[in-house]
Amino acid sequence: MKKFLCLAAGLLMIASLAACTSKKDELVMATNAEFPPYEFHEGDKIVGIDVEICQAIADELGKELVIEDMAFDSVITSVYTGKADLGAAGLTITEDRLKNINFSDPYATAAQVIIIKEDSDIASPDDLVGKTIGVQLGTTGDIYAEDIEDATLERYNKGFEAVQALLQGKIDAVIIDNEPAKVYVSQNDGLKIVDEAFTYEEYAIAIAKDNTKLLDDVNAAIKKLKDSGKLDEIVAKYISADN
């Protein structure tokens, strides 16, 4: 009986070590695949700029990339609690987010823009005062829109849900990142983007505060992608220069 218990304990230890080894060989990416062209569904695959950047980082680190798709406002929580190694979902560096997680060096500059109907009287961010505005829950558009005087915010789990509400006349405008905005406008007649941007910001990868080794490795990989021109190639694959 004692030999059996020792053997069982040994097998459990081996299984445990194997599980740990397997986990070390993976790089888990938390994302919200509703954000074209940074991450979106193409058939049964999740593709996009962030996916290819994280895949290149995983290749550089000799790891297998595992993508976990979730609600946008769960991405940073997933990194913070250790359920994911990194978060990449068009994440903007903000002081509030830095309280809980670290960010890599930025890899893209973006803008929050305003989508309106073509016959709207909104011509600039100043015209949003007193309007009903759609935002995606937990995004910087959601955060910054809170400062608009007398505005009513309608929060949606997905960006396209806010756009649909705009088309249906339920809201006056949508605040969302520039590149997804272009996609939504191109796919829906009667919409346009206001010329003046709402805000400008930088995208980076979220990493847990205590995982400084991974932060250093990711920053080194991002630098290599920039220096080699690979980062520009990835972006150009999804965003044409004349957009």
pLDDT tens sequence across 156-194: 999 999 999 999 999 999 999 999 999 999 999 999 999
- pLDDT, position 241: 52
- pLDDT, position 4: 38
Name the pLDDT band for 147 (thresholds 50, 70, 90): very high
- pLDDT, position 24: 77
Query: 7 or 130, which is more confident?
Result: 130
Kindly state the average pLDDT of the residues 86-97: 94
The answer for residues whose C-beta is within 8 angstroms of residue 184's C-beta and 6 or more apart is: 115, 159, 160, 163, 174, 176, 191
Is the bond preceding 106 in cis, omega lying within 30 degrees of 0? no
Q: What is the pLDDT of residues 41-79, one digit of tens each?
A: 999 999 999 999 999 999 999 999 999 999 999 999 999
3-state secondary structure of 240: coil
Whether the pTM exceeds 0.85: the reply is no
CA distance 225 to 194: 33
Number of Cβ atoms within 10 Å of the Cβ of 22: 10
With tokens 């695959």, the residue in question is 45
Torsion 132-186-205-105 (CA) sign: negative
- pLDDT, position 14: 39
Q: What is the pLDDT of residues 128-145, one digit of tens each?
A: 999 999 999 989 899 999
Backbone angles phi, psi at 143, to 5 degrees: -65, -50
Kindly state the average pLDDT of the residues 32-41: 94
Q: Which of these ranges, 123-127, 172-176, 239-243, has the smallest mean pLDDT?
A: 239-243
Task: Set out the domains of the chain in order of their start, with CATH numbers.
Answer: 2-107+204-238 (3.40.190.10), 111-201 (3.40.190.10)
Residue 11: pLDDT over 90:
no
